[in-house]
């Protein structure tokens, strides 16, 4: 295994630029999907995700290499508000801002009571399982984008996804030198060129796009009905945020919940969500795709993440380049995501192994088993407009069971 580039290390510009592009491409599919589904300008999302990421990096003292992208958790509730008469997208923005305020409140609580409670309610037997669930629960998305779950299989879609995956895997295992740290970028570019050769890329959007454009801003309004619909989703995001930060800590090999602190992470994310909401963008969250890139490349430099954020900001003003990126077929993103999401799942298994969990203890066996099965079974629980599923629902079960077992001293 090659030596890791640590969080505080800087790389020469010619090396850092393709690494930042790699992070940009890894998150682009999901990041653009959210505004497309909400029928808003993707450029505003790219702009404030970039700004939000830079703000997050500064608030966390340049110690957490995390990219903040558009959160898919708000698609359902956002559409519910947008499609409700007398509400619309401005009212949804008001709801988004309240979620950011909730994050800041959680940050203040953690700064007072500390972060150790996370490990008290999430014992090692559940932490590794929650990490694994993050990747496993995302797996079906990658499979769908790759065309591998369609009722009628499309050989072209599948072949593009498999070529992308094959090049990425080959590069990860066999590349030497600088190419060995950009296998994802090489895989995406190769898959894209193959898709062009297969006639699966439509450049009409690029031709029609202006060279330069300005993102569209929207002023929020605060309406109780919209806030009531959106605010419960904050619970999902809080669970997701803790889970992702635990994953990053595992990948980087440092307890980031301790230093720079879980409270700083929540505050940085919350402030970013508030700023985005006031300017017309969607809430953002820590992106699992980019955590996967960290794990694969072992390039943990926060400056590479900052470079991706700057590129995202630049991209929001370059109409043609933004349009070119949006022409990347889902099959390409799906192909590379099969590896990216798998790496997250493997990180969870590695965490369980490194913690040397004693599965002769019934409580440990139950914790890991329940978290895994709840997380990947497709189970969901709806409370109002908030739906808990996947990693968020698994984390809730982990907290409840972990608390009960701790109370009765079974773990």
Euclidean distance between CA atoms 282 and 63, whole angstroms: 25
The pLDDT assigned to 77 comes to: 81
Euclidean distance between CA atoms 30 and 47, whole angstroms: 15
**Does residue 302 sit within a domain?**
yes
**Tokens standing for residue 152:** 């009628």
pLDDT per residue over 123-161, tens digit each? 878 878 877 887 788 788 889 989 999 888 899 999 999
Number of CB atoms found within 10 A of residue 173's CB: 9
Euclidean distance between CA atoms 349 and 196, whole angstroms: 37
Omega prior to 372 cis, within 30 of 0: no
**Does residue 370 sit within a domain?**
no
**Does residue 318 sit within a domain?**
yes
**Does residue 125 sit within a domain?**
no
pLDDT per residue over 393-402, tens digit each? 887 888 888 8
Euclidean distance between CA atoms 4 and 215, whole angstroms: 37
**Does residue 57 sit within a domain?**
yes
pLDDT per residue over 19-38, tens digit each? 998 888 777 766 776 887 68
Of 2-6, 51-55, 351-355, which has the strongest mean pLDDT? 51-55
Mean pLDDT to the nearest integer, 344-365 = 85
How many Cα atoms sit within 13 Å of 87 on the Cβ side? 22
What letter would DSSP give residue 285? E
The pLDDT assigned to 166 comes to: 96
Chain-centroid distance, C-alpha 387: 18
The pLDDT assigned to 30 comes to: 67
The pLDDT assigned to 385 comes to: 60
Ranges 174-188, 191-205, 221-235, 370-384: which has the least confidence:
174-188
Mean of all residue pLDDT scores within the chain: 87
**Does residue 198 sit within a domain?**
yes
- Residue 106, CA distances (Å) to 100, 238, 244 in order: 10, 9, 16
**By the 8 A CB rule, do 131 and 250 touch?**
yes
Euclidean distance between CA atoms 167 and 268, whole angstroms: 36
Residue with tokens 């099959």: 331
Q: Kindly indicate the confidence band of residue 227, based on its pLDDT and cuts at 50, 70 and 90.
A: very high
Residue with tokens 């301790």: 258
Q: What are phi and psi of 68, to 5 degrees?
A: -95, 115
**By the 8 A CB rule, do 234 and 99 touch?**
yes
Euclidean distance between CA atoms 370 and 19, whole angstroms: 37
Q: Kindly indicate the confidence band of residue 173, based on its pLDDT and cuts at 50, 70 and 90.
A: confident
**Tokens standing for residue 354:** 């490194």
Q: Coil, helix or strand for 374?
A: helix
Our count of domains for the chain comes to 1
236 exposure class (CB count in 10 Å sphere: 0-12, 13-18, 19+): buried
Euclidean distance between CA atoms 297 and 182, whole angstroms: 7
**Does residue 67 sit within a domain?**
yes
Enclosing domain of residue 191: 13-120+152-330
- Residue 120, CA distances (Å) to 21, 217, 265, 361 in order: 38, 43, 19, 17
Q: Kindly indicate the confidence band of residue 120, based on its pLDDT and cuts at 50, 70 and 90.
A: confident
Mean pLDDT to the nearest integer, 265-273 = 97
Query: Percent of the chain, pLDDT > 70?
Result: 96
**Does residue 335 sit within a domain?**
no
Q: What is the pTM of this model?
A: 0.77
The pLDDT assigned to 12 comes to: 92
């Amino acid at each position: 295994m090659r030596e890791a580039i640590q969080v505080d290390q800087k790389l020469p510009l010619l090396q850092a630029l393709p690494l930042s592009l790699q992070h940009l491409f890894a998150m682009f599919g999901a990041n653009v999907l959210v505004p497309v589904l909400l029928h808003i300008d993707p450029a505003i999302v790219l702009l404030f995700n970039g700004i939000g990421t830079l703000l997050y990096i500064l608030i966390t003292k340049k110690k957490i290499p995390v990219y903040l992208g558009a959160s898919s958790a708000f698609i359902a509730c956002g559409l519910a508000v947008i499609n409700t008469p007398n509400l619309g997208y401005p009212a949804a923005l008001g709801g988004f801002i309240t979620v950011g305020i909730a994050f800041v409140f959680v940050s203040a609580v953690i700064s007072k009571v500390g972060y150790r409670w996370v490990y008290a309610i999430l014992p090692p037997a559940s932490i590794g399982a929650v990490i694994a669930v993050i990747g496993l629960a995302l797996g079906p998305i990658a499979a769908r984008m790759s065309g591998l779950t369609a009722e009628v299989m499309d050989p072209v879609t599948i072949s593009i996804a498999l070529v992308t995956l094959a090049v990425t895997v080959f590069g990860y295992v066999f590349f030497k030198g600088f190419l060995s740290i950009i296998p994802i970028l090489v895989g995406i570019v190769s898959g894209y060129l193959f898709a062009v050769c297969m006639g699966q890329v439509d450049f009409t959007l690029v031709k029609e796009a202006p060279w330069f454009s300005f993102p569209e801003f929207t002023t929020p309004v605060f309406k109780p009905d919209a806030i009531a619909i959106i605010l419960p989703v904050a619970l999902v995001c809080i669970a997701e945020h803790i889970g992702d930060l635990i994953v990053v800590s595992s990948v980087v090999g440092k307890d980031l919940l301790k230093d720079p602190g879980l409270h700083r992470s929540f505050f940085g994310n919350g402030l970013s969500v508030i700023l985005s909401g006031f300017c017309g963008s969607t809430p953002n969250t820590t992106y699992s795709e980019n955590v996967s890139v960290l794990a694969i490349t072992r390039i943990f430099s926060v400056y590479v993440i900052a470079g991706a954020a700057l590129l995202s900001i630049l991209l929001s003003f370059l109409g043609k380049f933004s349009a070119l990126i949006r022409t990347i077929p889902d099959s390409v993103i799906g192909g590379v995501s099969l590896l990216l999401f798998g790496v997250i799942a493997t990180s969870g298994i590695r965490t369980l192994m490194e913690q040397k969990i004693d599965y002769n203890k019934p409580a440990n066996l139950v914790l890991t088993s329940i978290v895994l099965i709840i997380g990947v079974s497709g189970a969901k629980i709806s409370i109002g407009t908030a739906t808990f599923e996947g990693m968020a629902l698994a984390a809730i079960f982990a907290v409840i069971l972990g608390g009960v077992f701790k109370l009765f001293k079974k773990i």
